[in-house]
Structure 1
């Protein structure tokens, strides 16, 4: 049976079970550079098994509403942060794990200036910049061994825009 979900705005509180929303919000934790720069300190739960942290650049094709999701994936050996270089918003589809299978899908829409850090082992859809091609710096685990599990959805999941999305 076809499943549809509605995307909601990306907020730190709603996204917390799946990862972190990194953004400039409120007052900085401290001022640096002779008071000319605010530091918002330690905003993501980075977590890597063996290997090391690395930064790659992804160039992803634009996606549109409704978003068809037929594949989700997870990375059991490390967290994964998506940092928009081009300013593109993105649709972020996540799910909780139940005995090795994704369940209870949720979708969020980022705003310019928001970075998403997915916790280690979080089921998520593929990178989906909304309405325009997007380039992203991606901070994730670099190392030997398998760090990708994929799960095909049949029938696919459809994500529709909600209020504020």
Structure 2
């Protein structure tokens, strides 16, 4: 995938089929769906970074993240788990469903994503993607922290629902089918993630919406 301002690895592999929605022209940036420019109207000058809409990234928690997916970790809701392995472990079951909405067509793809780090703030939001037919799960293997950016919506993201979370290395996440999200962003250091998603190799695996330079929401990240 082309460099779009964030050092990240997308869930839509480079060169793979995807449904792309070009960025619509907008009269001004904002956390809302807006009308495009009138045909023939002069182009608007770039919006300075300091004047763009900004959201803050918050610590990942099950309650706040529930509209978008599940958190994969030991005892996410305080449950005690159950003994396993002759008493040497505790097991926490049914933390998430990896849904396949195209049974008989899609196959489970288990892969590893290696993400380069990004630590500067604010970060401009260059694109969002979604997987309409599958849950997607990411489980960190060696991450310190990583950024999760999500939004609800149908054909396009509803930016009024845009949220950003900082996850730590003991937390994995899922995106529910159809949840818009930014490609995985590692913070502080390079990180590997196990990824699980149902795919059939068609453009229906992944839909992408790009945002032009002047309409990108920025995300503030505490050091």
Q: Common fold, TM-score beyond 0.5?
A: yes
Aligned to 1:160: 220
Is 1:80 the counterpart of 2:130? The answer is no
Q: Which structure shows the higher helix fraction? A: 2
How many residues are aligned here?
162
For 1:43-101, what per-residue CA distance to the aligned partner results, in whole angstroms no more than 9, with x for missing partners? 0121112312221000111112222211110001101111111123111110110x411
Which structure's CA Rg is the greater one? 2
- Structure-2-length-normalised TM-score: 0.69
Cα distance in 2 for residues equivalent to 1:151 and 1:40: 36
Aligned to 1:150: 208
Contact kept, 8 Å, 1:71 with 1:153, in 2: the verdict is yes
Cα distance in 1 for residues equivalent to 2:189 and 2:93: 30
Aligned to 2:62: 12
Q: Structure 2: where are the runs of 5+ without partners?
A: 1-28, 30-51
Q: Structure 1: where are the runs of 5+ without partners?
A: none
Spell out the pairing of 1:9-158 with structure 2 (5 A cutoff). 9-25=59-75, 26-50=78-102, 51-64=106-119, 65-97=121-153, 99-103=154-158, 104=160, 105-146=162-203, 147-154=205-212, 155-158=215-218
Residue 141 of structure 1: CA displacement?
1.1
Match of 2:64, SS state, is: helix
Cα distance in 2 for residues equivalent to 1:73 and 1:58: 16
Cα distance in 2 for residues equivalent to 1:22 and 1:28: 15
Q: Which structure shows the higher strand fraction? A: 1
